[in-house]
């Protein structure tokens, strides 16, 4: 990252203010569902970016919001699986190429042969792009029922854990976020980029 980037971090404030406005919108949960669905198949931004402010603004509905986020993510994962299974030669390869993960998609096939559902469970909890897992699962023709079950477990664990922590410690968490917004913004950006880099190093 360039020095100019660190000199002007107002974009994090603008993004945070935008997510707060979104969280207070009457279609906030629907927007979260759309982001969660898309992230599992082609969208680069993780749903946590929207999930956190939405839950902070509606802590009384934290678990319902987490459930919607989970269901949307799993359904998006099914779409990603279909891309790998049915559309690999067209859309699948284009998406994987877009993220520079061509070699890793094929390596996942060997990992599935050895580790099976454990790959989905582990990768679904990490910053590694979940879309790579879903598309590669279809490409490897991994058992669809097992894929859906593993995706449900790993996504539910992640999103319900976030909902639990925010429901219980919401006010202090929000205060911390607002005090350390630039630091948190950089950490999220590093985690996002690091997830893609980690795939390249595996």
How would residue 201 be classed by pLDDT, with cut points 50, 70 and 90?
Answer: very low
Which pLDDT score is estimated for 52?
87
> If 0-12 CB within 10 Å is exposed, 13-18 middle and 19+ buried, where does residue 148 land?
middle
How would residue 42 be classed by pLDDT, with cut points 50, 70 and 90?
Answer: confident
Which pLDDT score is estimated for 178?
56
Q: Which of 156, 169, 84 is nearest to 121 (CA)?
A: 156
Which pLDDT score is estimated for 173?
65
How would residue 63 be classed by pLDDT, with cut points 50, 70 and 90?
Answer: very high
CA atoms within a 13 Å half-sphere pointing along the CA-CB vector of 193? 6
Between residues 120 and 200, which one has the greater pLDDT? 120
Residues sharing a CB contact under 8 Å with residue 29, sequence separation 6 or more, in sequence order: 54, 58, 65, 68
Which pLDDT score is estimated for 133?
84
Six-digit token string for 137: 């699962």
Q: Is the pLDDT of residue 194 over 90?
A: no
Least confident of 29-33, 107-111, 156-160: 107-111
Which pLDDT score is estimated for 196?
46
How does pLDDT run across 2-16, given as a tens digit for each residue?
444 444 455 555 666
Q: What is the mean pLDDT of the chain?
A: 76
């Amino acid at each position: 990252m360039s020095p100019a980037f660190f000199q002007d971090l107002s974009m994090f404030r603008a993004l945070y203010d935008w997510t707060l406005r979104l969280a207070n919108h009457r279609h906030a949960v629907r927007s979260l569902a759309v982001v969660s669905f898309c992230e599992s198949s082609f969208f680069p931004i993780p749903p946590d970016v929207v999930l956190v402010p939405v839950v902070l603004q509606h802590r009384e509905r934290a678990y319902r919001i987490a459930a919607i986020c989970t269901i949307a993510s799993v359904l998006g994962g099914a779409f990603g699986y279909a891309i790998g299974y049915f559309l690999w030669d067209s859309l699948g390869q284009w998406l994987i190429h877009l993220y520079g993960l061509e070699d890793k998609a094929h390596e996942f096939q060997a990992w599935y042969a050895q580790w099976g559902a454990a790959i989905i469970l582990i990768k679904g909890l990490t910053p590694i792009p979940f879309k790579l897992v879903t598309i590669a699962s279809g490409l490897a023709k991994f058992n669809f029922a097992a894929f859906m079950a593993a995706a449900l477990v790993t996504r539910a664990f992640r999103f319900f854990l976030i909902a639990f922590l925010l429901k219980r410690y919401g006010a202090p968490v929000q205060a911390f976020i607002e005090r350390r917004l630039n630091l948190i913004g950089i950490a999220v950006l590093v985690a996002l980029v690091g997830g893609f880099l980690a795939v390249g190093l595996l």
